[in-house]
Structure 1
Amino acid sequence: MTTRKSWDELIDAYARYLAHELNRSPNTIKAYVADLQDCAEFHRQHKVPEVSGCSLNSLRQWLATVQQAGAASKTIARKVSAARTFLQWCVDREYLEANPALRLASPKQNQQLPTVLSAKQVEQFFQLANHRFDETEDGSVERALAARDLAMFEVLYGAGIRVGELTGLDTQHIDFSQQLIRVRGKGDKERIVPIGVPAVKALRNWLDLRHTVARPETSACFVGAQGRRINQRVVREQVDRILEQIPDTAARGPHALRHSAATHLLDGGADIRSVQEVLGHASLQTTQLYTHVSIDRLRESYQQAHPRA
């Protein structure tokens, strides 16, 4: 016999489950809850106040409404996944007798390859970032912030880490002697990532100036203008400020540096499993996406350069 519960009760309980038992990130939980609340609101409007009244037909009607509103196939697929996993959780806890979402079709998605910078464009990127630092006045806050930005860029590209991993980095997570950093990624999983000589140099330079901006009590490696741990939005703004000055690329945001790092590692002959470990991918299939980027770049170079292409 199932226990009758409202949508809101079960969604709140499921969010706690994601946080405390599965260690999902706040952003992941927020996305799941938003999709489930959308599903709940549709059902309430159609006189289905409890999860036990949900059916395959009602779920299909909900998704049809989402599609008619102009949602992309990726968004619909995400909502299908959210509903399926949530309702299975309800079955496991005897709030439902069966999961009606198991037969819910997910739309096919065209796999989009990430936009990456060429090696030459990466060089341009860092030339622009260095130029900004060189133009600032010694001892000024602007110089400290320019040093911070350069260090952030070097770590994002040099280690291929996510922006959330960058903003979560503390000063004690840096091992200068081994040229390693310790980051906490998706699912609260920790990993050790190597960084190159330029990143080490930029980090040392920033940490020498960090005291002019950072509040004494913060352990954050990177801080904002107010001295507290830097916000992901600020990192994106600073990356885009440089990317917008580079011609012939649509690459934007910190993830473009991560995509570029992964592609350039594979271009340089790095083993795909080593790249998977550096990037912190749970599945090798995710890392394999970058092999397609490398092949496409190789094909493009071949067609441009080979006399009989």
Structure 2
Amino acid sequence: MAGFNRYVTAERGRSKHTARAYAADLNSLFGYAAAEGAVELSDITLSVLRGWLGDLSSSGLARSTLARRAATVRTFMGWALREELIEIDPSVRLKAPKKNSPLPHVLQQQQMSKMLETLADAAAAGDPLAVRNRALVELLYATGLRVGELSGLDVDDADLDRRTVRVLGKGDKERTVPFGIPAAVAIDDWLRRGRPALSNGNSGPAMFLGKRGRRIDQRQVRSVVERHLSALGDTAATSPHALRHSAATHLLDGGADLRAVQEILGHNSLATTQIYTHVSVERLRQSYQQAHPRA
């Protein structure tokens, strides 16, 4: 297990949290396999793997959890085969229930405009936190950043002249994401008026700060966004990820190339990005049904 853990973290760039999740999944498998008489790794067959997933399914685990555990086993068995710990990979033909993939909640463009106007009005009064809140929401929507990516930004990561931001994403993969003039104006205002008012010896290079001058954490970002989403009152979107969904969908609605959106969001697979094409088609269908006399 120690070798697999090093492979997951060092070679595949997964976090320690992910490595712990893998270990828990494998411990579950090994416990089931031992009870079935499969004591050695080479004793674990496709039948054992299917029985394990079936047992988990009977216990009421969600499809998404089953799919994740099957993916863990495939990763582990692939590594074990490479390390010559097994001669045949029994997970090649292992299938897990497909995850339910509900379409993400997306804000209408007018809803997004309303939220940003409210934030701009509050920032105009000069309160540093209001100036910050406007800048971080503008940047989240402009770039589709994850909350963790935003909270990890440093001041030098933003290039206001080129209107780009350097982002460290999942697996420590770096990407450069463009943003528009409204976000640039909001960030410039934050750096000139807001950040100096909150900055202290604990601030370091952090782009966004909490009220005590330390780097803003993800919980604080979520609180800001959730409060303003709630204030809209006419949306099912309740989390900051809705801004990421909205950014992607609005880009595609505007004619952006799918691969460009994949690069902006930092998705490893184009298949992950394709969910937003379904969102756009569904929005188009709704508009048609509402507007066409023969719909």
Specify if TM > 0.5: yes
Give 3-state SS (helix, strand or coil) of 2:55's partner: helix
Corresponding residue for residue 115 of structure 2: 125
Corresponding residue for residue 4 of structure 1: none
Q: State yes or no: 1:268 paired with 2:254.
A: yes
Contact 1:25 1:188 in 2 (8 A): no
Corresponding residue for residue 80 of structure 2: 90
Give 3-state SS (helix, strand or coil) of 2:91's partner: helix
Q: State yes or no: 1:247 paired with 2:237.
A: no
Q: State yes or no: 1:75 paired with 2:36.
A: no
- Over aligned residue pairs, what C-alpha RMSD do you find? 2.3
Give 3-state SS (helix, strand or coil) of 1:238's partner: helix
Shift of 1:255: 1.4
Per-residue CA distance 1:279-304 (angstroms, 9 max, x = gap): 22222222222122111111111111
Corresponding residue for residue 283 of structure 1: 269
Give 3-state SS (helix, strand or coil) of 1:300's partner: helix
Per-residue CA distance 1:195-246 (angstroms, 9 max, x = gap): 1112112212222322333443521212334433322232222211111122
Q: TM-score, normalising length from structure 2?
A: 0.89
The one of 172, 177, 182 equivalent to 1:193 is 177
Contact 2:143 2:178 in 1 (8 A): yes
Corresponding residue for residue 197 of structure 2: 212
Corresponding residue pairs, total: 293
Equivalences for residues 228-243 of structure 1 within 5 A: 228-243=214-229
Contact 1:163 1:232 in 2 (8 A): yes
Corresponding residue for residue 308 of structure 1: 294
The one of 108, 113, 116 equivalent to 2:106 is 116
Contact 2:153 2:206 in 1 (8 A): yes
Contact 1:179 1:200 in 2 (8 A): yes
Deviates more, 1:204-213 or 1:24-33: 24-33
**Structure 2 unaligned regions, length at least 5:** none
Contact 2:106 2:237 in 1 (8 A): yes
Corresponding residue for residue 7 of structure 1: none
User: Partner letter of residue 278 of structure 1?
Assistant: I
User: Partner letter of residue 103 of structure 1?
Assistant: R
Contact 2:122 2:131 in 1 (8 A): no
In 1, the alpha carbon distance for the partners of 2:23 and 2:135 equals 35
Contact 1:223 1:230 in 2 (8 A): yes
Corresponding residue for residue 5 of structure 1: none
Q: State yes or no: 1:64 paired with 2:54.
A: yes
Shift of 1:90: 1.3
